[in-house]
Chains A and B, each alone.
Chain A
């Protein structure tokens, strides 16, 4: 009898990979969208069943408390995004922005990206994780440059170069972690297996770990989009197809942050190593403040929400940097909420840009009048993302700020200022976008609203009620994170 556990893990990885190959070869442009959705759905099913059946960790792959919810979240958002993508891309083909060849390429890349991200989350081997993140970077680079406009190429190139340098730094960090580990647990695969690393972390050479963490933080931090390593992020979000912006913001940033978290756990398990907290807090705070001010100087709607992603990644990094049960819990929760909310926002933004034929915010007005569902969806999403209740982000920001203020009042105040400045900017733009007399094209949108409202409903519900099982899981991981 074959064990179902490893089979599931294989399914999570190879359904996307297989369908990527299939989609690359599949000739019919119209069906590919559905096929993409179907594949994503199966992946989601497989990952959801991980809650019931948990395979034992191997040297390469692992399913543990830390990654399981991320995998489920990843596959879930991937699924909803594929639903959105189907209707979005159909419109792009109609208007002739994409040819069928590119369509095939797009869908194949989509599934490859899913494979890479799932692999990065499932990897037990830190080297494998690195390879997966690199693969994810490469695929998204190709997707960002999909439209072949000068701006898109510029964005893709910038992303590529900065991402590659980040990846190189991360590799150096990984090598040093291996060095630190191999002295303790012996050479070979074991010294790269994450579960082994954490167990033995206390015996590692702290100096080596410190150095490694600097490189890892900067390396993966580039992918997270932390200031000052963020430069690729706004362009990449603004120029790529919107489903990719959604996946970038909602998932890829999370995956990179997840990598940082794994290493942070190793760091905090070592008593001699420097506390990773202050470093992360500094970068996080810098991101929040910088992004908050930048929000005022955006004209492009997708670009603005990209900066908002930087801000939120900053908040999350800040929370993890502060540490402690409350802040870690809030950080994890915030990651989840941010994924859901930001992708929902990009869903609505994508349709808005399609019906209005522009991403320039000055040319979009009064959406709640001309396109009520899209407009109110955007309003809800923006309200959620700036942390207004009853949506979930309010809860996490509440926890982060209150728990920080008792310990580090100055930091909390700085964070609050950042949040407030960002809120001011987003609301200012939202005012113009959603309200006032409508302006511009008023063609009805042929959008699929289900993904957007599904996400928003989830965020709303989570803000009011969290199932105890989920809470227990988050609390458990929060404790692991130290």
Chain B
């Protein structure tokens, strides 16, 4: 494996983290969808590159799924849902964007720190990739918890998934990657369907506490 191919893989992985930060920064709904599409494109590029350098043709399938489903179908579907359900176009965040970004930087640092002690045996490529994908996962989680809005939470979840695919493809010769990515796509699809079917607008966050008390039992 030559240096160049390593660097390219590296670049894609780093790019993904960057796009994750963009997701975190974005506070308008449609902008978010576009950036998520970009996120998916970067992932599929990265996967394709891995397929190329690992000589693993089945990974192309994964790349294709990522591209078709997440870069095209889902953003479009979400776009329509937003329009159909009349969801607010701006995203309510918890804490300021700046604070979130700061936390994000902390998370990236953390994922690098955690990955550092792993022996070089595993290969630099893998180690760096793992650090980046961990960062993407953590940023996705951060997004899920720092947004009050269902759509952006779904997008956070999907970015987690992209991070996982990055990790899975980076692990050389890992079997079942395709199956796993398919399984994940089903999950994501269900999520989207769930939002649509259950008319979940803000259910992530706004819950009628009194309603809950009735069946959940608060104070005696």
Contacts and interface: CB of A to CB of B under 8 A. Distances in A.
Interface of A: 125, 127-128, 130-131, 134-135, 138, 150-151, 153-154, 157, 160-161, 164-165, 167-169, 171-172, 175-176, 178-180, 182-183, 187-189, 191-192, 205, 207-208, 211, 234-235, 238, 296-300, 303, 359
Contacts of B220: 296-297
Interface residues of B, number: 48
Contacts of A178: 171, 174
A125 B177 CA distance: 13
B107 to A, nearest CB: 14
Nearest to B126: A179
29 contacts: A125-B175, A127-B179, A131-B179, A138-B187, A151-B215, A157-B198, A157-B200, A157-B203, A161-B153, A164-B187, A164-B191, A165-B141, A165-B144, A165-B157, A168-B137, A175-B167, A176-B167, A178-B174, A179-B126, A179-B130, A182-B171, A183-B122, A187-B173, A188-B173, A192-B174, A208-B122, A238-B216, A297-B220, A300-B216
Given A172-B137, A187-B174, A298-B217, 5 more contacts: A138-B186, A168-B157, A188-B175, A192-B175, A303-B217
Interface string B161-185: 1011001100111111001100100
Contacts of B164: 168, 171-172, 175
B41 to A, nearest CB: 21
B209 to A, nearest CB: 12
A131 B183 contact: yes
B134 interface: yes
B39 to A, nearest CB: 15
A172 B144 contact: no
Contacts of B24: none
Contacts, number: 119
A188 B217 CA distance: 51
B208 to A, nearest CB: 9
Nearest to B56: A187
Given A164-B191, A188-B173, A211-B114, A205 B122 contact: yes
Contact of A238 (B117, B174, B215): B215
B121 A303 contact: no
Interface in B194-213: 194, 198, 200, 203-204, 207, 211
Nearest to B115: A211
B86 interface: no
B139 interface: no
A168 B180 contact: no
B174 A297 contact: no
B187 A125 contact: no
Contacts of A125: 175-176
Contact of A131 (B122, B168, B180, B216): B180
B198 A153 contact: yes
B160 interface: yes
Contacts of A153: 198
B171 A154 contact: no
B122 A299 contact: no
Contacts of B180: 127, 130-131, 171
Interface in B3-42: none
B144 A160 contact: no
A303 B198 CA distance: 23
A297 B216 CA distance: 9
A189 B122 CA distance: 18
Contacts of A205: 118-119, 121-122
Nearest to B167: A175
A191 B219 CA distance: 52
A122 to B, nearest CB: 16
B207 A154 contact: yes
B190 interface: yes
B124 to A, nearest CB: 13
Contacts of B175: 125, 127, 188-189, 192
B98 interface: no
Q: For the complex of A and B, list the 5 residue pairs with the smallest distance between their C-beta atoms, beginning with the closest.
A: A299-B217, A187-B173, A127-B176, A207-B117, A207-B118
A146 to B, nearest CB: 13
Contacts of A359: 215
Contacts of A167: 187
A233 to B, nearest CB: 13
Contacts of B122: 179-180, 183, 205, 208
Contact of B176 (A128, A135, A150, A169): A128
Contacts of A127: 174-176, 179-180
Contact of B119 (A131, A207, A211, A303): A207
Contacts of A154: 203, 207
A216 to B, nearest CB: 14
Contacts of B204: 161
Given A160-B191, A183-B121, A175 B216 contact: no
B95 interface: no
A130 B187 CA distance: 13
A187 B179 contact: no
A151 B207 CA distance: 11
Contact of A160 (B117, B172, B173, B194): B194
Nearest to A141: B190
Contacts of B174: 127, 175, 178, 182, 187, 191-192
A427 B216 CA distance: 19
Contact of B134 (A172, A179, A234, A238): A172
A178 B164 CA distance: 13
Nearest to A214: B114
Contacts of A192: 174-176
A179 B171 contact: yes
B20 to A, nearest CB: 15
B140 to A, nearest CB: 8
